[in-house]
Amino acid sequence: MRRFFARSSRLVIRQAGRAVAFSRERALAFGELWRRSLQVRVVVSTLALSSAVVFVLGMVLQNQITDRLLTSKQDAATAETLVAVSVADRELQGADVLADGFRERISNALNKLSSSSDDDTGTADSVAGAFEPVIAYDGPDVSESVSVGEYLDVPESLRAFVQTNQMARQIATVERNGARTTFLFVGAPVTSASRTLQLYLMFPLTSEQNTINLVQSTLIVGGLVLLLLLAGVANLVTRQVVRPVRRAAEAAERFAAGELDERMVVVGEDDVAKLAESYNQMAESIKYQIRQLEEFGQLQRRFTSDVSHELRTPLTTVRMAADVLHASRAQFPAGLARSTELLVDELDRFESLLGDLLEISRLDAGVEELVAEITDVRAIAKRALDSVRVIAENAGSRIELELPAAPATAEVDARRVERILRNLLANAVDHGEGHPVRLRMAFDDNTLAVTVRDYGVGLRQGEADLVFNRFWRADPSRNRHTGGTGLGLAISVEDARLHGGRLEAWGEPGRGANFRLLLPRNQDVEVGESPLPLRPADDAEPPAEPTAQAPSGQVQAATAESLEEVR
């Protein structure tokens, strides 16, 4: 028995949980529909307000009809009671309660009253309707009554009031044969006999109750039909307003997607038509401005490309002359020899700037192609390290490699990935302020991640997005070691995008920065979850100081085996 009750309890709890979950899902779905659909909000709000109005109006109408019915019934019953009292006075004129024929005279009076009640039921103009007369009087020993109705049905409060020789009425419900019936009781004194009698007329309110019930059902059905009609009207009216808005939203989405010739259809001269005209004018203006910007951008890119190409020839000539001077600098005085070295350094920087400008021009023109092949990215990371080793030694920074032991193969363009890593490492060394720089690599089935971590000045809030802008610098007044052009990270972002990957940045002031490169391992697969976090786990640690035992530019790795494979 205990097991049965326990099993039943678990079943009830499970069913209750399912019901709660289903209700919660329905509520969430309705909430989502409520937030996203103006038409639903308008229809539901109209129904809610209309329901309140219909309810109040129905209550007012029902109360008015009920009051009118009861007032008419009471007035007619009062008039009928006055007539019945005059009949009873005439029939019982001078009657003695103690006489032997008194009860017969009362019976005759009741018969006449009952016959008049029967006559009233067949009269179309009768408002009071049929009634049951009751005559009560005090006998020799106890209060007695002779009646067609039940004397005990008369409320005691009404009896006490009529016994004071006043006319009164009261509505009460009595139970007869297991059914409850509501009566209007009207009582009045009869003073023509030797002793005051009480006459009570019982008017059933069954017809009035049926009328009120009919009115209630009619109001309920009419209210529901009215609400449905209002909901339909609200839905139609709302659709007339919402449909043009939806068309405008769809047109705006297509316009934002690049379909600059998308326009709305103007129908009529109403407010919606004015909205369509305004939208079309706005779209035409935006299209014109976009065309101007595209033409200006094309001119700017063409100018940059042409200037870069045109500078190649004089730069080559100057480079040849500078190389000759640099090769003969030992024969020059010290000042002239130093000037020759500075000239070569600036020419190197100028040549790098021209290369970056040409690369940006090709990326902007969309003529760059991705030459991807299956490559071990660990070897690319090692080559990028070799290219920045001299810069790291000059800055006094140590570069640490944490490479996986297994081959990190991916379908990539080795030249572009090496340029990305070289730019990230040079940027980390330049901003690392002599602290170590750490390159980590990890991969899963679909994604390869590389992070470059420095412990330098870091990035302020909002600079993680600005750092990839062209020619942007966090602090232009700070000394730089690499003499970069300000285009390296912008080119790196485009290279990552060509691979279908992402380049992201994190940083905090005083805690350094972390750049993460995500690449798909196959070009037909999208980038998934990163194997390495963007916010490093050591973000709360103080920057590591370079050790005196390790030479500048030293490379450390997670496993010696992986480094041997890279070499």
At residue 93, the 3 state secondary structure works out as coil
Q: Quote the pLDDT of residue 357.
A: 67
* Residues 456-485: tens digit of each pLDDT: 888 888 788 788 877 776 655 455 555 555
145 forms bridges with which residues in the sheet? 136
Is the predicted pLDDT of residue 112 greater than 70, yes or no?
yes
* Residues 318-339: tens digit of each pLDDT: 778 888 777 887 888 888 888 8
Is the predicted pLDDT of residue 441 greater than 90, yes or no?
yes
Is the predicted pLDDT of residue 162 greater than 70, yes or no?
yes
Interval 400-423 mean pLDDT: 90
DSSP 448: E
Whole-number Å distance between alpha carbons of 123 and 406: 110
Q: Quote the pLDDT of residue 28.
A: 77
- Stronger pLDDT, 180 or 567, i.e. the higher one: 180
- Stronger pLDDT, 147 or 367, i.e. the higher one: 367
Q: What is the mean pLDDT of the chain?
A: 78
Is the predicted pLDDT of residue 548 greater than 60, yes or no?
no
Whole-number Å distance between alpha carbons of 128 and 126: 6
Tokens at 96, concatenated = 């003695």
Of 1.10.3720.10, 2.40.128.110, 1.10.287.130, 1.10.1490.10, the CATH number of 263-368 is 1.10.287.130
Tokens at 375, concatenated = 């490559």
| Maximum average pLDDT range among 17-26, 49-58, 87-96, 372-381 | 372-381
DSSP 467: T
Q: Quote the pLDDT of residue 517.
A: 92
Q: Which range, of 156-170, 281-295, 535-549, averages the lowest pLDDT? A: 535-549
pTM score: 0.45
Q: Which range, of 128-132, 357-361, 469-473, 563-567, averages the lowest pLDDT? A: 563-567
Residue written as token pair 């939208």: 279
Q: Which range, of 92-101, 407-416, 480-489, averages the lowest pLDDT? A: 480-489
Q: How confident is the model at residue 1 (pLDDT cuts 50, 70, 90)?
A: low
Q: Residue 200 burial by CB count (10 A; 0-12/13-18/19+): exposed, middle or buried?
A: buried
Asked: is 369-566 a CATH 3.30.565.10 domain? The reply is: yes
* Residues 231-263: tens digit of each pLDDT: 888 888 887 777 777 788 888 888 888 787 888
Q: How confident is the model at residue 125 (pLDDT cuts 50, 70, 90)?
A: very low
* Residues 21-39: tens digit of each pLDDT: 777 777 777 677 677 777 7
Q: Where are the domains of the chain?
A: 1-34, 87-209, 263-368, 369-566
Interval 503-509 mean pLDDT: 89
Q: Quote the pLDDT of residue 519.
A: 92
DSSP 457: S
Q: Quote the pLDDT of residue 465.
A: 77
Interval 390-397 mean pLDDT: 85
Is the predicted pLDDT of residue 451 greater than 90, yes or no?
yes
Q: What are phi and psi of 529, to 5 degrees?
A: -70, 145
Q: How confident is the model at residue 40 (pLDDT cuts 50, 70, 90)?
A: confident
Topology agreement, domain 87-209 and domain 263-368? no
Is the predicted pLDDT of residue 56 greater than 80, yes or no?
yes
Q: Quote the pLDDT of residue 476.
A: 53
DSSP 124: T
Whole-number Å distance between alpha carbons of 494 and 502: 9
Is the predicted pLDDT of residue 437 greater than 70, yes or no?
yes
Is the predicted pLDDT of residue 535 greater than 80, yes or no?
yes
Q: Quote the pLDDT of residue 149.
A: 53
Note the CATH number of domain 87-209. Answer: 3.30.450
Q: Quote the pLDDT of residue 119.
A: 59
The 8 Å CB, 24+ separation contacts for 3-9 are none
Cβ(457)–Cβ(474) under 8 Å?
Answer: yes
Interval 151-155 mean pLDDT: 79
Interval 65-90 mean pLDDT: 86
